[in-house]
């Protein structure tokens, strides 16, 4: 059974994020990725410190490898990580002058988005703007110099660099936290009111032992739809070792997402072999360490 084939019948873009190009050396990894998924996104390779480690000195090889792989296999690449809370190099954090920081953002976005123009048509422009547990914007390096306006700046710079790409704000945990959900809505509706060029909200959907309350995804799709925005699922995984419960959550979330009209769904990887290598023992994905389909795969497939 192939998720890609099943999803393709309904024009659903089903994908795997967290693709580290080193994994492409593993033939089993490659076989499952190409058979099951229509889109991929890099794990860290597009994040600032990985692709632009010394100012203006770009390291394209890792991302190029993913782009070439996608081309060979007829896949779409999603651009993840233009601005993210992790992975910002010291030279960037050292910039204290607002005009200089905006210029650095412009140069970086132009270099990266121009290089992958025609190869990546959707981007996470800002990832995790809000504090993890909610309670305001993360005071990251951009916020410290530019204030809350850095988010709007980032979208305007991204639009200028890639006029035809879809631009997303990517956020975590909102499906589980009502207060943070409202904060995200306030942030995004504010951006829209200011005319910032945002096309959608990418829900990470990293789930632990608690399932989202039924209806929450539908409500978000409606609320953002009323603003003219798309909602996607960008990084789903379910961190529980209870395989039955995990399968139920996958099935319920995918079912609700499709009914709500979401057409772009990605998981944060697909095999427990490479899941959260810094969290030993986590088994949050659809395939086990030996690439065998888990109950979570079956419930996901069935929901499609
Ligand atoms: C994670 C990567 O998987 C790790 O390798 C890295 O150390 C930290 O970032 N939300 C995101 C992703 O948007 O970029 C994060 O990826 C996982 C949470």
pLDDT tens digits along 109-128: 999 999 999 999 999 999 99
Binned at pLDDT 50, 70 and 90, residue 220 comes out as very high
Residue in 22, 235, 238 to alter for ligand 1 test, most ligand atoms within 8 A of Cβ: 235
Which pLDDT tens digit goes with each residue over 77-94? 999 999 998 899 999 999
Binned at pLDDT 50, 70 and 90, residue 22 comes out as very high
Q: What is the pLDDT of residue 60?
A: 98
Q: Give the span between the Cα atoms of 239 and 35, in whole angstroms.
A: 24
Q: Give the span between the Cα atoms of 97 and 75, in whole angstroms.
A: 40
How would you classify residue 136: left for phi > 0, otherwise alpha for psi between -120 and 50, otherwise beta?
Answer: left
Least confident residue range of 33-42, 79-88, 148-157:
79-88
Closest ligand 1 atom, residue 276 Cα: 3
Q: In the chain, how many domains are there?
A: 1
Q: For residue 87, report the distance from its CA to the centre of ligand 1, in Å.
A: 9
Q: For residue 9, report the distance from its CA to the centre of ligand 1, in Å.
A: 30
8 A C-beta contact, residue 286 and residue 251: no
Does the beta carbon of 86 sit less than 6 angstroms from any atom of ligand 1? yes
Nearest CA to ligand 1 atom 6: 44
Q: For residue 24, report the distance from its CA to the centre of ligand 1, in Å.
A: 19
Residue 154, both tokens: 């980032």
Which pLDDT tens digit goes with each residue over 43-60? 999 999 999 999 999 999
Does the beta carbon of 43 sit less than 6 angstroms from any atom of ligand 1? yes
> Is the model's pLDDT at 278 over the cut of 80?
no
Q: Which contiguous run of DSSP H or E holds residue 238? A: strand 230-238
Q: What is the pLDDT of residue 280?
A: 81
Residue 80, both tokens: 């993840």
Binned at pLDDT 50, 70 and 90, residue 139 comes out as very high
Beta strand 206-207 with 230-238 is parallel
Binned at pLDDT 50, 70 and 90, residue 172 comes out as very high
Closest ligand 1 atom, residue 234 Cα: 13
Average pLDDT, the chain: 97
Q: Please tell me the pTM assigned to this model.
A: 0.97
The CATH number of whichever domain residue 139 belongs to comes to 3.20.20.80
8 A C-beta contact, residue 267 and residue 41: no
> Is the model's pLDDT at 277 over the cut of 80?
no
8 A C-beta contact, residue 183 and residue 190: no
What's the mean pLDDT in 238-259?
Answer: 97
Residue in 18, 138, 206, 277 to alter for ligand 1 test, most ligand atoms within 8 A of Cβ: 18
Q: What is the pLDDT of residue 224?
A: 99
Q: Is the ipTM of this complex over 0.95?
A: yes
Does the beta carbon of 41 sit less than 6 angstroms from any atom of ligand 1? no
Which domain does 178 fall in, by range? 3-303
Q: What is the pLDDT of residue 130?
A: 98
Does the beta carbon of 84 sit less than 6 angstroms from any atom of ligand 1? yes
Q: For residue 40, report the distance from its CA to the centre of ligand 1, in Å.
A: 14
Q: Give the span between the Cα atoms of 33 and 15, in whole angstroms.
A: 9
Does the beta carbon of 124 sit less than 6 angstroms from any atom of ligand 1? no
Q: Give the span between the Cα atoms of 84 and 100, in whole angstroms.
A: 19
Q: Give the span between the Cα atoms of 125 and 147, in whole angstroms.
A: 17
What's the mean pLDDT in 260-280?
Answer: 93
């Amino acid at each position: 059974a192939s998720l890609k084939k099943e999803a393709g019948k309904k024009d659903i873009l089903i994908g795997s994020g967290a693709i580290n190009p080193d994994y492409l050396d593993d033939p089993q990894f490659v076989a499952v990725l190409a058979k099951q998924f229509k889109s991929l996104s890099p794990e860290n390779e597009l994040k600032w410190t990985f692709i632009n480690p010394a100012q203006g000195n770009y390291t394209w090889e890792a991302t190029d490898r993913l782009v070439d792989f996608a081309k060979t296999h007829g896949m779409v690449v999603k651009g993840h990580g233009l601005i993210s809370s992790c992975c910002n190099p010291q030279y960037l954090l050292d910039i204290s002058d607002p005009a200089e920081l905006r210029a650095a953002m412009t140069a970086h976005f132009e270099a990266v988005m121009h290089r992958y123009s025609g190869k990546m048509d959707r981007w996470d422009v800002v990832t995790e703007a809000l504090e993890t547990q909610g309670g305001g914007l993360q005071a990251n390096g951009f916020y410290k110099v530019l204030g809350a306006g850095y988010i709007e700046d980032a979208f305007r710079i991204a639009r200028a660099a890639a006029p035809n790409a879809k631009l997303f704000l990517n956020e975590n945990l909102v499906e589980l936290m009502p207060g943070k959900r409202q904060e995200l809505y306030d942030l995004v509706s504010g951006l829209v009111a200011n005319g910032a060029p945002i096309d959608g909200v990418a829900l990470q959907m990293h789930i632990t032992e608690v399932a989202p309350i039924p209806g929450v995804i539908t409500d978000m799709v409606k609320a953002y739809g009323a603003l003219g925005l798309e909602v996607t699922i960008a990084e789903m995984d379910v961190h529980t070792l209870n395989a039955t419960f995990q399968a139920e959550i996958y099935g319920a979330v995918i079912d609700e997402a499709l009914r709500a009209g979401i057409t772009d769904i990605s998981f944060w990887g697909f095999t427990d072999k490479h899941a959260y290598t810094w969290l030993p023992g986590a088994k949050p994905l659809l395939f086990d360490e030996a690439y065998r389909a888990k109950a979570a795969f079956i419930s996901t497939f069935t929901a499609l």
